[in-house]
Amino acid sequence: MRRLFNLIFFMALLTGGGAAWWLNQSLTINTESVDLSVEPGTSVRGVAQLVSDAGVQVNPDLLYWWFRLSGDARQIRAGSYEIDRGTTPYSLLQKLVRGEESLRAVTLVEGWTFTQVRAALLKAEGLKPETQGLEADFIMTALGKPGVHPEGRFFPDTYNYAKGSSDVAILKRAMRAMDKKLALVWAHRQTDSPLKTPDEALILASIIEKETGRSSDRATISGVFSNRLRIGMPLQTDPTVIYGLGDTFNGNLRRRHLQTDTPWNTYTRGGLPLTPIAMPGKGSLLAAVQPASTKALYFVARGDGSSQFSDNLQEHNRAVNKYQRGQ
């Protein structure tokens, strides 16, 4: 009996030592990494099989029993993972339990149009292009805003996502972010603002975004546009004209373009244009509802990114001659 006990004890030590050795040995992978996608509801045995099917050279039954005997099998989370070289059975389980998904990122830039947003999402690595080929109105319906124009409705920011995520999910996050930002700034609008709705604030913010990249000028530009809206003076802003021209614009804005009527031409039509013309950032949103106190009705680009503001047309013409015509 003593010899039998010693033999069993020795075999247990050997088995335990072998298990400990195996748990800390790197799994064999023929590439730098393999992708593992675990769908919600996948069984523990199914997860082990998925690891093997993904390209990891491991016995799925052995991996399954490790998951079970660890006591953490029920904690394995669904998600998209990367299994790199050097991953051990022990570290693999820790990754799955912690939900350490392989994340990518896509950046939506301030001033981009919806067309540019869609192009960026299409190029984003590992992002399912579920909206590819769909018309804008179908996309907005899928996002829960049927009949709403998509321009300017998404907040420019960097969005992380797991490999295999849908571009619809990114658009939903960006749309919710814009809704929250817009609601926040609208709650802090000036009491004498000529803007009547949050949508009007979004439209004006998009124009401010396209008019300048200098944060110090945004509030004053907003003040100019607010002054014009109060007295019924056309906004006469070139970015709205360019937006209305669409793909026909070749980069050279001419007088005939200013006279070509579209729903976005603020030379031929009074008030704000029909929709936003781009995605405004937080600074432009805030400037739209908190314009600077100014008497200026005109501004012109100086050529260095800043603007020259004028209270009357005579001053403005002199500024145009100086900064635009080199006189």
Task: Identify the pLDDT of residue 191.
Answer: 92
Task: Identify the pLDDT of residue 15.
Answer: 53
What is residue 249's three-state secondary structure? coil
Burial class (CB within 10 angstroms; exposed 0-12, middle 13-18, buried 19+) of 90: middle
pLDDT at 23 over 90: no
Q: How confident is the model at residue 177 (pLDDT cuts 50, 70, 90)?
A: very high
Distance between CA atoms of 161 and 212, rounded to whole angstroms?
Answer: 31
Q: What percent of the chain has pLDDT over 90?
A: 71
Task: Identify the pLDDT of residue 154.
Answer: 98
User: Assign residue 174 a region: left if phi > 0, alpha if psi is -120 to 50, beta otherwise?
Assistant: alpha
How do residues 209-251 score in pLDDT, each as one tens digit? 999 988 999 999 999 999 999 999 999 999 999 999 998 888 8
Worst-scoring range by mean pLDDT, 7-16, 45-54, 79-88, 257-266? 7-16
Interacting residues of 320 by C-beta distance below 8 A, sequence separation 6+: 300
* DSSP letters spanning 4-41: HHHHHHHHHHHHHHHHHHHHTSPPEESSSEEEEEE-TT
How do residues 49-98 score in pLDDT, each as one tens digit? 999 998 999 999 999 999 999 999 999 998 888 888 899 999 999 999 99
Domain boundaries, the chain: 15-98, 103-183, 190-323
- For the entire predicted model, the pTM comes to 0.79
Nearest to 170 by CA among 148, 82, 178: 178
Angle between helices 44-53 and 60-70 (to 10 degrees): 140
Q: How confident is the model at residue 327 (pLDDT cuts 50, 70, 90)?
A: low
Task: Identify the pLDDT of residue 7.
Answer: 43
> What's the one-letter identity of residue 274?
L
pLDDT at 314 over 80: yes
Worst-scoring range by mean pLDDT, 11-20, 150-159, 255-264, 283-292? 11-20
Q: How confident is the model at residue 163 (pLDDT cuts 50, 70, 90)?
A: confident
Task: Identify the pLDDT of residue 49.
Answer: 94
Task: Identify the pLDDT of residue 305.
Answer: 85
Distance between CA atoms of 233 and 290, rounded to whole angstroms?
Answer: 20
Nearest to 194 by CA among 217, 221, 227, 224: 227
Distance between CA atoms of 1 and 50, rounded to whole angstroms?
Answer: 45
Interacting residues of 21 by C-beta distance below 8 A, sequence separation 6+: none
Average pLDDT for residues 175-200, to the nearest whole number?
Answer: 96
Contact 96, 81 (CB under 8 A): yes
Nearest to 206 by CA among 117, 275, 277: 277
Distance between CA atoms of 70 and 67, rounded to whole angstroms?
Answer: 5
* pLDDT, mean over the chain: 90
What six digits make up the tokens of 67? 């998951």
Q: Which fold has domain 15-98?
A: Dna Ligase; domain 1 (3.30.1490)
Distance between CA atoms of 273 and 199, rounded to whole angstroms?
Answer: 11
Distance between CA atoms of 133 and 117, rounded to whole angstroms?
Answer: 14
List % helix, strand, coil for the chain (3-state, nearest 5).
50, 10, 40
Nearest to 325 by CA among 296, 303, 306: 303
Task: Identify the pLDDT of residue 22.
Answer: 84
